[in-house]
Amino acid sequence: MNPVFFSIFLGLTLLFQNQEDYIPVGQIITPLGEILIQLDERTPNHRESFIQLAEAGYWDSLTFNRVLPDFVAQGGCPDTPEGFNDPEYLLEPEFHPELTHVYGAVGAGRDDNEGKLSARCQFYIVQNKEGLHRLDNNYTVFGKVIKGMDIVDQIVNVDRDDRDEPLTPITLDINIVYLTKKDLEKIST
């Protein structure tokens, strides 16, 4: 093989190998700080949906629209019927026995539908330190906060109206950052 072509081939091989070593992590930037979410591979449809919407900038004009101390910080609701009725915005539940509503769990919101279909546009972060296990097997947990629970704790304690919406909007800038396993381990410990 020609040495130049071999060098290019080797470089491309290393590039593609290295890409597989990177793990997509949800990044939520708020006026109060950054939250990082490890997306769980055991819920592939919810994980992929979150990545797709984040990379499309879907949530970047939205807010945490419902915050309750000792319960959840919920965001991403565009307040449109499509979020709950349009099949493009719904996902089949992906319940997993090891993914429960512990402190820091990230779940998919939904309306009261028989099939427990998730509204892919809506997510929440469990802020109750004891967890919210009454929600297990009713709402899909698809991730966990690995950095920034102190920010979530601040978010749920802001002044809010009688609908539990923050009086001062807490804007979302949601991205996907790609980290190595080593970087992820440093953050998670």
Q: Which long-range contacts (CB under 8 A, 24 or more apart) does 162-166 make?
A: 163/66, 164/66, 164/67, 164/68, 165/65, 165/66, 165/67, 166/63, 166/64, 166/67
High-pLDDT (> 70) share of the chain, %:
84
**CATH code of 162's domain:** 2.40.100.10
Beta partners for 108? 123
Nearest by Cα to 17 from 6, 9, 25, 7:
9
Nearest by Cα to 147 from 71, 59, 50, 34:
34
In this prediction, residue 80 carries a pLDDT of 55
Higher-confidence residue of 9 and 75: namely 75
Does residue 61 sit within a domain? yes
Does residue 165 sit within a domain? yes
In this prediction, residue 6 carries a pLDDT of 43
Q: Structurally, how many domains does the chain consist of?
A: 1
User: Terminus-to-terminus CA distance in the chain, angstroms?
Assistant: 46
Does residue 5 sit within a domain? no
As a whole number, the mean pLDDT across the chain is 87
What would the pLDDT profile of 81-121 be if each residue is shown by its tens digit?
554 555 677 899 999 999 999 999 999 998 888 899 998 88
Beta partners for 164? none
Does residue 129 sit within a domain? yes
Give yes or no for a contact between 92 and 45, defined as CB atoms under 8 angstroms apart: yes
Q: Is 60 exceeded by the pLDDT of residue 157? A: yes
Does residue 136 sit within a domain? yes
Give 19's pLDDT tier (boundaries 50, 70, 90).
low
Does residue 170 sit within a domain? yes
Stated pTM of the model:
0.86
Does residue 59 sit within a domain? yes
What residues contact residue 28 under an 8 Å CB cut-off, 6+ apart?
A: 34, 35, 36, 37, 75, 148, 172, 173, 174
Give the DSSP H/E element, type plus range, for residue 178. Answer: strand 173-180
Please state the rounded mean pLDDT for residues 118-130.
Answer: 94
Higher-confidence residue of 22 and 83: namely 22
Cα gap 39→175, rounded to integer Å: 12
Does residue 12 sit within a domain? no
3-state SS of 47-103 is: HHHHHHHHHCCHHHHCEEEEECCCCEEEECCCCCCHHHHCHHHEECCCCCCCCCCCC
Cα gap 96→93, rounded to integer Å: 10
Report phi then psi at 44, rounded to 5. Answer: -60, -35
Q: Provide the residue range defining the domain that includes 51.
A: 23-188
